[in-house]
Structure 1
Amino acid sequence: MSNFLQPTILLLKDGTDTAQGKQHLIGNINACSFVVDTIRTTLGPRGMDKLINTGRYSTVSNDGATILDLLDIVHPAARTLVDIAKSQDAEVGDGTTTVVILAYELLKQAKKYIEDDVHPKIIIKSYRQAAQLCLKRIDEIAVKIDTTDKDKSLEMLEKCAGTALNSKLIASYKEFFSKIVVKAVTNLDQELLDLDLIGIKKVSGGAMQDSLFIDGVAFKKTFSYAGFEQQPKKFIKPKIALLNVELELKSEKTGAEVRIEDPQEYQSIIDAEWDIIYKKLDTIVKAGANVVLSRLAIGDLATQYFADRDVFCAGRVPEEDLNRLSKATGKQIQSTVSKLTHEMLGECDLMEEKQMGKERYNILSGFPHKSTSTIILRGGAEQFLNEMERSLHDSIMIVKRAIKNNTIVAGGGAIEMELSRYLIEHAKKIFGKEQILIEAFAKALEITPKQLAENAGFDAMAILNKLRKEHADPNPDKMWIGVDIDNEDVCDTFKTFVWEPSLIKRNAINAATEAACLILSVDQTVKNPNSSEEQNKQIQQQKQMLRPTRGARF
């Protein structure tokens, strides 16, 4: 038989980069390690912060999702860790660093078995089985809080809020801020718990403890004209008009044309414009409004008109603040004033303008519907205020989840050690490769207490050995033993009030397992940068063809 040369078959375009096989999978795991090494030191009460400079802005943060997003990671596998951090932040609000570290530790444990030619699908199956066992165990041991007792319920929420703030820049004032956070969340409609109704404003200057909780709505003084200073700045029981109406004289658009026979008619056109604006202003005042707030501009004529009649006005009020006012007053924002009546006006107990640092704030409080509140943060640098806002957001999310899901577990690595012990006990009853893989999952869970101890400067191995010894004791009182950050030892973290909603741990284990399984299931990556470049070039050519040339006639 004659031998024929096999023809070369090109399936992919020139320049396409492909990677596959065991080494590719290990490379993906190694890429994730560089991401995790960046944020692992931020975990826990003694975690460090990261300063990220993006050229124009600098950000100081220890929030995992924020750091990973600012790093702008492009590696496809490593991007998975960014996505799970964002999902944890959106769903629960806290535990973003924990979920990323746990996901990588699961990959790290799987790496040695992949090198020994264990099929990734067996690892994935075992990991998912272990995750389900963990979720079942959390449900069994989680402590339910009696929500019928209001005092105990508030105490539980404050402890959960304080635990979320333990690792933040404002940890030294966690008792002060946890009370503010709980007040803000409990003020909301308990069925909806819409966090958009909690306003957070930042005012530079002052100390952290100068921060304020306002049972109502506050917004920074808007742009104003000269007549504004003649208006009253304090009202008791004011009537509030919420508008989406422009109250100023507007010149006609360029190119408008009006044909008149008699020059005297020109004055009637000018008078008509003034009549329109005055009619609007008269209607507002006759309706009985003391405070006029509009999303659109209020001009100098209207400002002076209101000042002469002791009415306060503010134009270009931020939309989110106007919506919160609508919710608090129970009145709709009006898009016309032609039929404005007294019944359409909202009311509150007090409206006043206060000086805060170099800013002036309009504060409205004492609404009939307690459904919104505002937190005004004080502090030094802008980066510090931004981190305070991120910290409070995490704490607010935790309190919301604690209200929705009133079961808690102890933090400080206690729940992870208990789950690790439980999985090891379960693995002894299983035959085959699943046994060692479930044990690998159990070992990965130990990363949380280990990292907490390392970040606090403790001997991590000594602390971990103590925790293993305590959790090996069948006594149920030893179930909540975790890392004692204050005394470089172990302690019952449930008794020291290091509490977290069980939902955090459930979501973290679920998300970390899914991320690890996703990366383990990928055995080939195809990258073709030329395809995207050519696609962009075609789009630009199409736009160029559709754009008319200068001087063209149609």
Structure 2
Amino acid sequence: MPNGQAGSTPIFILSEGTRRQRGRDAHESNIMAARVIGDAVRSTLGPKGMDKMLVDSLGDVVITNDGATILDEMDVEHPAAKMIAEVAETQEEEVGDGTTTAVVLAAELLEKAEELLDQGIHPTVIASGFSMAAVKAQEFLEEMSREISIEDEEMLKQVAKTAMTGKKVEANIPVLADLAVKAVKQVAEKVDGGYSVDLDNIDTEKQEGGGVDDSILVDGVILSKERVHSGMPKRVEDARIALLNSPIEIKETETDSEIRVSSPDELQKFLDQEEGEIKEMVEKIVEVGANVVICQKGIDDLAQHFLAKKGLFAIRRAKKSDMERLAHATGGKIVTNIDDLSPEDMGKAGLVEERKISGEEMTFVEECENPKAVSILVRGGTEHIVDEAERSMDDAVSVIAKSIESGKIVTGGGATEIELAMKVSNYADSIGGKEALAVRSFADAVESIARFLAENAGLDPIDTVVELRSKHEEGNSQYGLDVYSGEVKDMFKEGVIEPLPVKTQAVSSGSEAAVMILRIDDVIAAKGEEFGGGGEGPEGMPGGM
């Protein structure tokens, strides 16, 4: 082909309508999306953080300052923004608290990265610097931590109080913290060199009515179920519980079949046989000494009648998770065939009782001997209060569990962030090359957490950070911000403490998300897909945000 014609034939690689952003445009769009996510939750950081009201497409309202809940309820469309929202999800699943910190850190890292990109530093160099700083930060956090024991109830309560401070249930924190500590201690199991806590063994039920202070801990399981027959006893003391994963009814044939009867006698015989089979099942349950039956499947009307006549208390269609908790709490075994039921399979509880709580029938299986599963019933005056109380309780239980499992705690109130920022900044001085600039930016991003803490408390962020720095330079590594008095104090003495994993996970997931977004230099969106840039919304924000 002659040279003159070389550029005259267009070559189509991507389908028509595909949108593409490359290089600096891609970075700007992704960083902008991450910053908007960071800005959305930043004002909720700390005890003086503000709340968000989230209204979904059905008009349901959620009012909260919990970072994970906010991002979960928000309809996020931008792909980079989704990656930042995933940071909150990971933080929530791993440690149950510190979601806002993790998201704000990721957004701040990307904002600092943008400044470095403007200086002509390559994204790979910045990403490398951030990764180096994150690894070093983990080491520093480990050095800065203190040990905590499962026996130190007062310290564990302080950890719970720190997690719940700033939520709507602040006035009721002592009661909730006490319940959370007792619950976690009860289900903690000793393993090699420490403890393990399976949070599935702590069930949080919520019920409107009363006040948050009316919340209770049950040494056993609360079921949102009522007994199946009104003729059954409402209260059974010294309960022997049969846990069945098998229906107490006549099994349907698996294939289509028909039964022909030629006379009323034959029909009666057939019905009598069915009745006899159900009676046999009930007799078997009574024979092994059960006085309570909790069934994961259905219970036939006739079976309900026979069980009631025998004076048994029965529940049907219990959730699988509730059945597992009941087995842990009562020491019983879940049996899948009634014929295999034996006295050794029975679970034991001091009391099984149906109670009406705010108009709802609930069954309490309590007074279990050394239960390995417990339930917390959270109360509150309105739906929003009880929802927020439940979220606070979940946070408290998670942080206590992480403190016990890791055996390490650090100080809150921005103390850990200021100290970490100083250590990372000193580390930057010890390394050469352009990576040092990225490491220093990482330190600034970590320090900004303390700055936002002061900002949300209505204090001067610059003055506060300067005062904190000077205290830390004097060797007071525990000093942080008391947002209520506006003074810089020893956070350990003030009881503002958090589990070490909350900080290490925030640094880890926040930096990983920032590095991943930073390494993207080309965004190719299929036809119909939208992404930031191109003016979909204010300042190039994607329209779906």
Change in CA separation of 1:146 and 1:290 when aligned onto 2, cut-off 3 Å = closer
- Residue aligned with 2:230, SS: helix
Deviation at 1:514, TM superposition (A): 0.9
Correspondence for 1:499: 497
Report the Cα distance in structure 2 between the residues aligned to 1:349 and 1:213, rounded to whole angstroms: 15
Contact 2:169–2:389, Cα closer than 8 Å, also in 1: yes
1:401-480 aligned within 5 A: 401-473=402-474, 475=475, 478-480=476-478
Report the Cα distance in structure 2 between the residues aligned to 1:34 and 1:102, rounded to whole angstroms: 13
Report the Cα distance in structure 2 between the residues aligned to 1:406 and 1:160, rounded to whole angstroms: 12
The range that moved more, 452-461 or 97-106, is 452-461
| Counterpart code for 1:195 | L
Report the Cα distance in structure 2 between the residues aligned to 1:440 and 1:425, rounded to whole angstroms: 12
Question: Is 1:514 aligned to 2:512, yes or no?
Answer: yes
Question: Is 1:202 aligned to 2:202, yes or no?
Answer: no
- Residue aligned with 2:361, SS: strand
The range that moved more, 189-198 or 67-76, is 189-198
Contact 1:354–1:360, Cα closer than 8 Å, also in 2: yes
1:139-538 aligned within 5 A: 139-146=142-149, 150=151, 153-190=152-189, 191=191, 192-222=196-226, 224=228, 228-248=229-249, 256-260=257-261, 264-473=265-474, 475=475, 478-529=476-527
Report the Cα distance in structure 2 between the residues aligned to 1:317 and 1:146, rounded to whole angstroms: 37
Deviation at 1:221, TM superposition (A): 3.1
Correspondence for 2:541: none
Contact 1:222–1:316, Cα closer than 8 Å, also in 2: no
Correspondence for 1:20: 22
Deviations 1:8-62 (A, max 9, x none): 1111111111100113212211121211111111111111111111122221221
Cα RMSD between the aligned structures?
Answer: 2.2
- Residue aligned with 2:43, SS: helix
Contact 1:60–1:384, Cα closer than 8 Å, also in 2: no
Correspondence for 1:43: 45
Contact 1:223–1:316, Cα closer than 8 Å, also in 2: no
State, as a whole percentage, how many aligned pairs show the same letter: 35
Question: Is 1:105 aligned to 2:108, yes or no?
Answer: yes
Report the Cα distance in structure 1 between the residues aligned to 2:430 and 2:244, rounded to whole angstroms: 69
Correspondence for 1:31: 33
For structure 2, list consecutive stretches of 5 or more residues without a partner in the other structure: 531-545
Correspondence for 2:533: none
- Residue aligned with 1:403, SS: helix
Change in CA separation of 1:378 and 1:263 when aligned onto 2, cut-off 3 Å = closer
Correspondence for 2:539: none
- Residue aligned with 2:468, SS: helix
Deviation at 1:528, TM superposition (A): 1.0
Contact 1:176–1:209, Cα closer than 8 Å, also in 2: yes
Report the Cα distance in structure 2 between the residues aligned to 1:386 and 1:529, rounded to whole angstroms: 41
Report the Cα distance in structure 2 between the residues aligned to 1:197 and 1:502, rounded to whole angstroms: 23
Deviation at 1:189, TM superposition (A): 4.1
Correspondence for 2:538: none
The range that moved more, 128-137 or 499-508, is 128-137
Deviations 1:270-302 (A, max 9, x none): 211111111111221222211111112223333
Deviation at 1:181, TM superposition (A): 0.7
Report the Cα distance in structure 2 between the residues aligned to 1:402 and 1:317, rounded to whole angstroms: 33
Contact 2:410–2:416, Cα closer than 8 Å, also in 1: yes
| Counterpart code for 1:499 | I
| Counterpart code for 2:57 | G
The range that moved more, 353-362 or 48-57, is 353-362
Which one of 68, 72, 94 corresponds to residue 71 of structure 2? 68
Change in CA separation of 1:367 and 1:528 when aligned onto 2, cut-off 3 Å = same
Contact 2:414–2:480, Cα closer than 8 Å, also in 1: yes
Contact 1:51–1:58, Cα closer than 8 Å, also in 2: yes
Report the Cα distance in structure 1 between the residues aligned to 2:502 and 2:488, rounded to whole angstroms: 22
Change in CA separation of 1:530 and 1:72 when aligned onto 2, cut-off 3 Å = closer
Report the Cα distance in structure 1 between the residues aligned to 2:426 and 2:71, rounded to whole angstroms: 36
Deviation at 1:163, TM superposition (A): 0.9
Deviation at 1:461, TM superposition (A): 1.7
Q: TM-score w.r.t. structure 1 length?
A: 0.89
Question: Is 1:96 aligned to 2:99, yes or no?
Answer: yes
Change in CA separation of 1:337 and 1:425 when aligned onto 2, cut-off 3 Å = closer
Report the Cα distance in structure 1 between the residues aligned to 2:263 and 2:178, rounded to whole angstroms: 71
Q: TM-score w.r.t. structure 2 length?
A: 0.91
The range that moved more, 337-346 or 101-110, is 337-346
Deviations 1:306-353 (A, max 9, x none): 332222122222222222111222222222222433333221222222
For structure 1, list consecutive stretches of 5 or more residues without a partner in the other structure: 533-554
Report the Cα distance in structure 2 between the residues aligned to 1:426 and 1:263, rounded to whole angstroms: 93
Deviations 1:506-552 (A, max 9, x none): 111111111111111111101113699xxxxxxxxxxxxxxxxxxxx
Contact 2:409–2:500, Cα closer than 8 Å, also in 1: yes
| Counterpart code for 2:268 | Q
Change in CA separation of 1:386 and 1:270 when aligned onto 2, cut-off 3 Å = same
Report the Cα distance in structure 1 between the residues aligned to 2:395 and 2:143, rounded to whole angstroms: 26
Contact 1:36–1:101, Cα closer than 8 Å, also in 2: yes
